[in-house]
Chains A and B, each alone.
Chain A
């Protein structure tokens, strides 16, 4: 089992109101030294055989991320043990 992780983030120029709401809540935790919070999404893809980065990139580009508003990064996670349901 090989795992590819896809991180999807809103492009820097796209407003992230969720991140802003979290940032605005931090002072209530006593945290005052955070200037910005942005929220993204982590997706784990488990391939049955070898990790296929090109395939993962295609999945990310066509479905997992919307290139109009989001960027993504993909990477293989080494040493992942299979989680069998």
Chain B
């Protein structure tokens, strides 16, 4: 299985995301923002960082990168896409996920190990967790406050599209403690904390992040077995 990891100008966590994919047992394929060719990858990770210097709004300019045009098309066709931190912001700006990420309510950059409660486990990126499972992965953001109108928040909850919530403290003021969400099909997931930083005992607070990467391998294995697009068959 080939997991593509995009590098935008200003990406920081592309190296760690590629490493996490390899540790999970995938082949990591580096994708370049200016190249619309996805090189036949089976899934894509949009990593954390400060694409285009966070100019205008976080993710606003990355959304128009040549590689994103291909990713947006492929995501609508079922390609599993995980956006982490800045990648989550890019997915919202690209309208692949609803809502927006805004300045942390307390204005401070937060960098700490964060407990999350996993909720939706029927997505391409969370199927290896159990509903209600608590996991510990690092959070590090200045603009991670998830906002959406009440109707959108209500429908996300009603449709079971919240994949994880902050527990034991909300680091940024996100509405309803939302840390991550998925699209209707379950193939596109955005999460503010960083699973790719929790895949090895030496460097992470846990190995809990690995589950996101093993989940997509499971989803892809399932989809190639029954000949369907990944993600879609999960729901």
Contacts and interface: CB of A to CB of B under 8 A. Distances in A.
B56 to A, nearest CB: 7
A29 interface: no
Interface stretch (B104-112, B123-131, B133-141): B104-112
Interface residues of A, number: 10
B207 interface: no
Contacts of A21: 107
Interface in A54-77: 63-64, 66, 68-69
A18 B104 CA distance: 10
B102 interface: yes
Given A63-B64, A64-B56, A69 B100 contact: yes
Nearest to B64: A63
Contacts of A31: none
B160 to A, nearest CB: 21
Contacts of B173: 15
Given A66-B60, A66-B93, A68-B148, A15 B105 contact: yes
Interface string A8-33: 00000011011001000000000000
B204 interface: no
B102 A14 contact: yes
Interface residues of B, number: 20
Contacts of B205: none
Contacts of A64: 56
Interface in B159-199: 173
A14 B147 CA distance: 8
Contacts of A69: 100, 102, 147
B92 interface: yes
Given A63-B56, A63-B64, A68 B100 contact: yes
A17 B106 contact: yes
A68 B105 contact: no
Interface of A: 14-15, 17-18, 21, 63-64, 66, 68-69
Q: Which 6 A-B pairs have the closest CB atoms?
A: A68-B100, A69-B100, A17-B107, A17-B103, A17-B105, A66-B100
Interface of B: 56-57, 60-61, 64, 92-93, 98-100, 102-107, 147-149, 173
28 contacts: A14-B147, A15-B102, A15-B105, A15-B147, A15-B173, A17-B103, A17-B104, A17-B105, A17-B106, A17-B107, A18-B103, A18-B107, A21-B107, A63-B56, A63-B60, A63-B61, A63-B64, A64-B56, A66-B57, A66-B60, A66-B100, A68-B92, A68-B99, A68-B100, A68-B147, A68-B148, A68-B149, A69-B147
Given A15-B102, A15-B147, A66-B57, 13 more contacts: A14-B102, A15-B173, A17-B103, A17-B105, A63-B56, A63-B60, A63-B61, A63-B64, A64-B56, A66-B60, A68-B147, A68-B148, A69-B102
